[in-house]
Structure 1
Amino acid sequence: MARAQNEEGVRNVRLKLLVLGVLCLLPGLGAAQMAWNDQSWLPLALYPAVSLISLLLYWQDKQQARTQTWRTPENVLHASELCGGWPGALVAQQLFRHKTRKVSYQLMFWGIVLLHQVFWLDYLFLGRHLSSWL
């Protein structure tokens, strides 16, 4: 018997894993280079740790949505993404089918992902010209 559409697992798993891998390439290379050059190990440690926290926050918020109890504020979810947890948030969005249809949320989420990409692109290839403005 076919499961109902909302009970199915993640659709297009291979494609989504490929997209996740591509999106993690610049941050992963940048964090590894930063650690290798003895500048800081912090990004290399923070991305997986905060990603796990983000995934757990999404799971908790999804459970709270189902039971109609107090919800995790969106700014908390976005703060965890901004601190490096966006890969875990992206996985959680797909696993739990949570926060995927709210356009305003997705715009902020993808803006955060873009910010990380631009930072690492600048760090790796542009000689930190963009970050010097900060």
Structure 2
Amino acid sequence: MNGLYMVLIFYGVMTVVGFFSMWSDKRRAKQHAQRTPEATLLWIAFLGGALGSLLGMQLVRHKTRKPKFQLLVPLALLLHATGWILFITA
């Protein structure tokens, strides 16, 4: 399989992981259960799940008031988008 397809599949999977991690942590917060560490949520965003994390933040209203998430998740998305733009235009 072509390397580009593998990268696209990776980003697709990470997008789902990013969304699910936000949804799951929100659900656990409501249930007063053990939560996902914030550092883990941010790592998921920076490792390729930024789009899913941002969608999860907005759709399930999770971590939207935390300045760290307001700044870092969009920054992760911007970095990945910039990388894609540079890759496509190269």
Q: Offset of 1:74 from its aligned partner?
A: 1.3
For the pair 1:115 / 2:79, whether they are aligned, the reply is: yes
Q: Is the 8 A contact 2:54 2:74 kept in 1?
A: no
Q: Which residue of 2 aligns with 1:62?
A: 26
Gaps of 5+ in 1: 1-34, 128-134
State the partner residue of 1:88.
52
- State the Cα distance separating 1:40 from its structure 2 match: 3.1
The answer to whether 1:97 aligns with 2:61 is yes
Identity %: 32
Aligned length in residues: 90
Q: Distance in 1 between matches of 2:70 and 2:7?
A: 24
Task: Considering Cα pairs closer than 8 Å and 6+ residues apart, tell me whether 1 or 2 has the greater RCO.
Answer: 2
Q: Which runs of 5+ in 2 are unaligned?
A: none
TM-score (norm 2): 0.84
1:57 Cα shift? Answer: 1.0
CA contact (8 A) 2:15 2:53 kept: yes
> Which amino acid is the alignment partner of residue 18 of structure 2?
S
In the alignment, is residue 44 of structure 1 matched against residue 8 of structure 2? yes
More displaced 10-residue stretch of structure 1: 107-116 or 77-86: 77-86
| TM-score under structure 1 length normalisation | 0.60
Q: Which has the larger radius of gyration?
A: 1
Shift of residue 45, structure 1, vs aligned partner: 0.4
Structure number with higher helix proportion:
2
1:61 deviates by: 0.5
